[in-house]
Amino acid sequence: MPTLFTRIDRTIKFSFPTTLPTVVAVLLVGLVACQPTPIATAPSPNTGESETATAQMPGQGVKVRPSTFAKPERRFFAEIINIGLEKLGYEVEEIKQLSPSIAHPVVGNGDLEFYIPHLEKSHAKFFEKGGGEEKLERVGVLIPNLLEGYSIDRQTAEQYKITDLGQLKDPELAKLFDSDGDGKANLAGCEVGQACERIIDYHLQAYELQKTVEHDKGSASILFADVLARHQQGKHVLYYTSIPSWFDYQLKIGKDVVWLPVPFTALPEGQQNFTDRDTLAEGKNLGFPVNRMQVLANKTFMEANPAAKCWIQQVQIPVEDLVTEFQRIAEGESSPEDIRRHAQEWVESNQQQVDTWLEEAKNPTTICS
């Protein structure tokens, strides 16, 4: 029997059946058979849930490497920020402790996501060396007015009428603060790598104090423990401090100790554009620019993670809560585990505010600039 299609030498030849209707019917069957089978598609039942989950956890799958200076009160800020980031879905790694001079380029290079503290004026040179605005970003304001300066015990200031750091050019006055027997005043200062270390060294040179005053450098907690012990023994003390801090809680300005102003404003390279207006506080020239304490962040990370940026921008801790934290630290609750617990307790005590910040962080385009 002849077939409908007979292929010979790549040429199709037709052998027609008896009737035309039969041909048409067979052709239609063939055409239908050659069409691809349609695949039924329906909306995925999980699509909406996935979008909702992403909105609720915008940091899901993103790692954050935080860092801070080796002071427990600075870690307190970092832990509160970390808790919020975790609630936004970010995977937060252990806090690394670095000096500001090292931290700025590390954050700029993208090896860490953020660092606390960044002092807007004192760390200006570190900021530029770390990559400037091309690589770094200052985010939020943790402390709007951070004061730094020199203090001496109130009794010594009143008894010897010491009202100015420059007076310590007098060897007899300088000897009052000699704690190691070399005849020079021992000024408990800063750790190597901090901005305050550079400023103190510059001050000693600018005020011609290098022959009568020496800058004791090292861990702030160790240096201050010695200052506190000497003060409790009724000895003369001379030290650098910043406010607010747990130092200030232990030795209160105006009660236990007093500010020791500088003769005039003198600042190292990178800060020489600042004047008396920048270093004046409480009616005294403290010698250090009044700073805002902020979070230093990697710019690329902030641009890619608006929820994280918006969260950090909003975090503010009342001064009275900081004083409470400083008190707990001064009483010995200063380990990393202690500070994490304190941060969790603070979040729980301020849950309504924290929840508001978190909700706003999930909609950063409408809330945060």
- Tokens describing residue 124: 């200006």
Q: What is the number of domains present in the chain?
A: 2
- What per-residue confidence (pLDDT) applies to 56? 81
CA 32 to chain centre: 68
The verdict on 219 and 240 lying in the same domain is: yes
Beta pairing class for 136-153 and 257-260: antiparallel
Kindly state whether residue 39 falls inside one of the protein's structural domains.
no
Angstrom distance (rounded) from CA 25 to CA 41: 31
Sign of CA dihedral 358, 363, 367, 369: positive
Question: The domain spanning residue 255 has which CATH number?
Answer: 3.40.190.100
Task: Give the up-direction half-sphere exposure of residue 204: CA atoms within 13 A in the CB hemisphere.
Answer: 19
Kindly state whether residue 52 falls inside one of the protein's structural domains.
no
Kindly state whether residue 252 falls inside one of the protein's structural domains.
yes
Kindly state whether residue 36 falls inside one of the protein's structural domains.
no
Segments of the chain with pLDDT less than 50: 1-45, 47-48, 50
Residue ending a domain, among 291, 317, 333, is 291
Residue ending a domain, among 291, 324, 352, is 291
- What per-residue confidence (pLDDT) applies to 54? 61
Residue ending a domain, among 243, 270, 291, is 291
The helix (H) or strand (E) run that includes residue 340 is helix 336-349
Kindly state whether residue 125 falls inside one of the protein's structural domains.
yes
Name the residue range of residue 105's domain.
58-143+293-367
- What per-residue confidence (pLDDT) applies to 247? 84
- Tokens describing residue 111: 């090896």
The verdict on 232 and 254 lying in the same domain is: yes
The verdict on 193 and 259 lying in the same domain is: yes
The verdict on 189 and 256 lying in the same domain is: yes
The verdict on 193 and 75 lying in the same domain is: no
The verdict on 76 and 89 lying in the same domain is: yes
- What per-residue confidence (pLDDT) applies to 330? 83
- What per-residue confidence (pLDDT) applies to 2? 43
The verdict on 218 and 343 lying in the same domain is: no
The verdict on 138 and 103 lying in the same domain is: yes
Question: The domain spanning residue 307 has which CATH number?
Answer: 3.40.190.10
Task: Give the up-direction half-sphere exposure of residue 232: CA atoms within 13 A in the CB hemisphere.
Answer: 7
Kindly state whether residue 72 falls inside one of the protein's structural domains.
yes
The verdict on 221 and 303 lying in the same domain is: no
- What per-residue confidence (pLDDT) applies to 71? 87
* Residue with the two structure tokens 């385009």: 365
Kindly state whether residue 34 falls inside one of the protein's structural domains.
no
* Neighbouring-strand partners of residue 213: 185
The verdict on 97 and 112 lying in the same domain is: yes
The verdict on 275 and 298 lying in the same domain is: no
The verdict on 320 and 346 lying in the same domain is: yes
Kindly state whether residue 1 falls inside one of the protein's structural domains.
no
